[in-house]
């Protein structure tokens, strides 16, 4: 047992303590620097939207997500690596928009992983170009692996409470239909990629020409990466030859 006076005092003191703790004017406010940093963090909105998708897939969130990517593509139109990351996120967004809860479970992990890497690339100042490319390559590989799994109709487990999609549904979603993961590393010979924009109203998928600056940039970025890998291999071969001789 506790003294009842003691307990009554607890209540009144609590009120005043809460007032102090959560007052808008007294005490410590968030650092001005922190506020500035948050204000200028270019991926803040994208991060919020990814968290929102994680929570619940809604039309509203997905539309905002895709719009945010469009905006960021303009912001980073001169940064090919960032553009490539954004293109992957865009493809994943389109796929989720079509398949909703039936999306391959790995999609959400990869979405988060791609964002984390993009975040690192954007926020780390003075990151070497090779390091940036290496991070992009890793994410691209994960993305491609997922795309292959979906196109091969690899089985994946859904939460028990949800209806398991029929195999035919998965197959259907991989025949270049909306909901299929598109190839972000578009080859020059492939003249167009499908943006999965099929809406509930049954609109046809929008075809985006590679001539569009953003896709062109992406293509160039991929070519650069290819060239980089090729150069690396050539250099290694030369070193091996030199060692042999």
Partner 1 sequence: MAFVNLKNKEIQVKIVYYGPGRGGKTSNLEYVYKKFAKRINTEMVTVKTHGDRTLFFDFLPFDIGIVNGYDVKIQLYTVPGQVKYNATRRLVLRGVDGIVFVADAMAVRREKNILALKNLQENLAAYKKSIFRIPFVIQYNKIDLKEQGIPLLPLQTLEKDLNSQLKLPSFAASAVLGTNVIETLKRIISMTVASIKKDLK
Where on the chain is the footprint of partner 1 (CB under 8 A)? 1-2, 4, 6-11, 13-15, 17-19, 21-22, 24, 27-28, 30-31, 51, 53-58, 105, 108, 157-159, 161-162
Asked if 120 and 208 touch (Cβ cutoff 8 Å), the reply is no
Residue 73 or residue 104: which is nearer to partner 1 going by CB? Answer: 104
Least Å from the CB of residue 108 to partner 1: 4
The packing angle between helices 80-99 and 59-75, to 10°, is 170
Nearest CA among 222, 196, 219 for reference residue 207: 196
Residue 98, both tokens: 């079509």
The total of other beta-carbon atoms located within 10 Å of residue 49's CB is 22
Q: Which residues of 198-231 are buried (b: 16+ CB within 10 A; e: fewer)?
A: beeeeeebeebebeeebbbbbbebbeebeeeeee
Least Å from the CB of residue 186 to partner 1: 28
Residue 158 or residue 208: which is nearer to partner 1 going by CB? Answer: 158
Residue 150's region, left for phi above 0, alpha for psi from -120 to 50, else beta, is alpha
Least Å from the CB of residue 101 to partner 1: 8
Least Å from the CB of residue 158 to partner 1: 8
Least Å from the CB of residue 64 to partner 1: 13
Residue 28 or residue 242: which is nearer to partner 1 going by CB? Answer: 28
Least Å from the CB of residue 244 to partner 1: 49
Residue 19 or residue 232: which is nearer to partner 1 going by CB? Answer: 19
Residue 7 or residue 236: which is nearer to partner 1 going by CB? Answer: 7
**206 phi/psi in degrees, rounded to 5:** -80, 130
Strand spans (E) along 128-242: 192-195, 206-209
Residue 108 or residue 228: which is nearer to partner 1 going by CB? Answer: 108
């Amino acid at each position: 047992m506790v003294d009842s006076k003691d307990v009554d005092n607890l209540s009144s003191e609590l009120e005043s303590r809460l007032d102090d703790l959560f007052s808008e004017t007294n005490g410590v406010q968030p650092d001005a620097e922190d506020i500035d940093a948050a204000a200028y963090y270019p991926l803040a909105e994208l991060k919020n939207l990814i968290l929102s998708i994680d929570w619940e897939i809604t039309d509203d969130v997905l539309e905002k997500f895709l719009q945010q990517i469009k905006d960021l593509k303009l912001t980073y139109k001169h940064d090919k690596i960032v553009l490539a990351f954004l293109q992957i996120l865009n493809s994943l967004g389109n796929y989720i928009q079509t398949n909703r809860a039936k999306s391959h479970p790995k999609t959400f992990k990869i979405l988060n992983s791609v964002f984390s890497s993009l975040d690192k690339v954007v926020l780390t100042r003075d990151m070497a170009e090779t390091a940036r490319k290496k991070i992009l390559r890793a994410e691209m590989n994960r993305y491609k692996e997922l795309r292959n799994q979906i196109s091969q109709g690899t089985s994946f487990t859904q939460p028990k409470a949800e209806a398991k999609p029929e195999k035919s549904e998965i197959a259907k979603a991989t025949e270049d239909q909306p909901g299929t993961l598109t190839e972000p590393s578009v080859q020059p010979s492939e003249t167009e990629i499908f943006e999965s924009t099929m809406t509930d109203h049954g609109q046809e998928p929008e075809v985006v020409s590679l001539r569009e600056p953003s896709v062109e940039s992406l293509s160039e970025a991929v070519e650069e990466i290819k060239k980089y890998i090729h150069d690396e291999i050539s250099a290694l071969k030369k070193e091996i030859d030199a060692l042999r001789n």
